[in-house]
């Protein structure tokens, strides 16, 4: 997806071949970038978790002979721990800048560009913008031409993978900033907005997480209601068969959770810090980072 344009198909057969081959070639390239993103996030999570464990040992929160394994479940400081999105963005940014500086030094020495133009070329190339005003390896002959083209290939490949990962992490930060700005601009001074929005929803509508929160409140109210269904009946509201089935499923899930905690001897709060680190949601590459971080933090 660079699209420099210095080499283009000239015949109809070449153009048709490019269209067909591009479908599979671009799809395979995106798959390769996603796999690279998954591996680099796993590596960063492993390294940062090791540093976090070392910091906990120095502060005395972990025993000196602590090892990863089943015993980690009993340590509250490490259960559900994930690296911060800002730390991951900082590490990827440092790696991208270092890679661009090294590549620019090579282009300045071989292509004869000044260092600023070389940095500009690295960003345009690594971000797959591909203007084509500066293109490497276009002279007829170079000193150590084979070695230079191999180094050019490695720098472009690693640079595109690194910038692709960095862009995905930056998109998470942008999403967090936008959510923060939207919360700041909420209409808090006008109570009519909140009343009107509260009237729009159905009283018996099931929203994600609402039934579980209501069930937890009913359990903490000194046994006032035995279940969410009984609470609705005592309040005089109608309940459908679908809602009754859903409430029974939630009650069964809570009962299984309590039995599991009693058997293991500790509460299972694996995903406490999920929203704090910024990797709580996402689509595509964002979901890959979230799932990989969850697997890394739970299994190591």
pLDDT tens string 46-78:
888 888 888 888 887 776 666 555 444 444 455
Three-state secondary-structure class, residue 68: coil
Neighbours of 26 (CB within 10 A): 11
Structure tokens at 31: 């798959």
Kindly report the average pLDDT of the chain as a whole number. Answer: 75
Per-residue pLDDT at 175 exceeds 80: yes
**What percentage of the chain reaches a pLDDT higher than 90?**
39
Query: pLDDT tens for residues 216-236?
Result: 554 454 444 444 444 444 444
DSSP assignments along 141-207, one per residue: --TTHHHHHHHHHHHHHHHHHHHHHHHHHHHHHHHHHHHHHHHHTS--S-HHHHHHHHHHS-TT---
Q: What was the pLDDT predicted at 266? A: 54
Structural domains in the chain? Answer: 12-59+84-187 (1.10.287.70)
Q: DSSP character for 133?
A: S
- Report whether pLDDT(13) > 70: yes
What pLDDT, on a 0 to 100 scale, did the predictor assign at position 260? 65
- For the question of whether the overall pTM of this predicted structure is more than 0.85, the answer is no
116-133 residue pLDDT tens: 999 999 999 999 999 999
Q: Assess whether pLDDT exceeds 90 at residue 177.
A: yes
């Amino acid at each position: 997806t660079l699209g420099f344009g210095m080499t283009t198909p000239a015949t109809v057969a070449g153009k048709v071949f490019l269209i067909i081959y591009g479908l599979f070639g671009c799809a395979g390239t995106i798959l390769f970038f996603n796999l690279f993103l998954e591996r680099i996030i796993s590596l960063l999570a492993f390294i940062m978790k090791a540093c976090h464990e070392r910091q906990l040992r120095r502060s005395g929160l972990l025993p000196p002979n602590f090892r990863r394994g089943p015993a980690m479940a009993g340590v509250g400081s490490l259960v559900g721990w994930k690296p911060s999105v800002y730390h991951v963005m900082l590490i990827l940014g440092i790696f991208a800048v270092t890679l661009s500086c090294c590549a620019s030094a090579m282009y300045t020495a071989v292509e004869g560009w000044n260092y600023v133009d070389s940095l500009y070329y690295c960003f345009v190339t690594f971000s797959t913008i591909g203007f084509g005003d500066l293109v490497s390896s276009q002279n007829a002959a170079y000193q150590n031409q084979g070695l230079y083209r191999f180094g050019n290939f490695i720098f472009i490949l690693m640079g595109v993978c690194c910038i692709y990962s960095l862009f995905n992490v930056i998109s998470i930060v942008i999403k967090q900033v936008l959510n923060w700005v939207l919360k700041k601009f909420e209409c808090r001074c006008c109570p009519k907005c909140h009343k009107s929005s509260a009237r729009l929803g159905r009283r018996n509508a099931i929203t994600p997480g609402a039934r579980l929160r209501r069930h937890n409140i009913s359990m903490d109210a000194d046994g006032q209601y035995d279940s969410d269904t009984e609470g609705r009946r005592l309040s005089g509201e109608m309940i459908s068969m679908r809602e009754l089935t859903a409430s029974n499923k939630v009650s069964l899930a809570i009962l299984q959770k309590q039995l599991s905690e009693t058997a293991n001897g500790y509460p299972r709060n694996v995903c406490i810090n999920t929203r704090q680190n910024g990797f709580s949601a996402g689509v595509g590459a964002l979901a890959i980072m979230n799932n990989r971080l969850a697997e890394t933090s739970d299994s190591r």
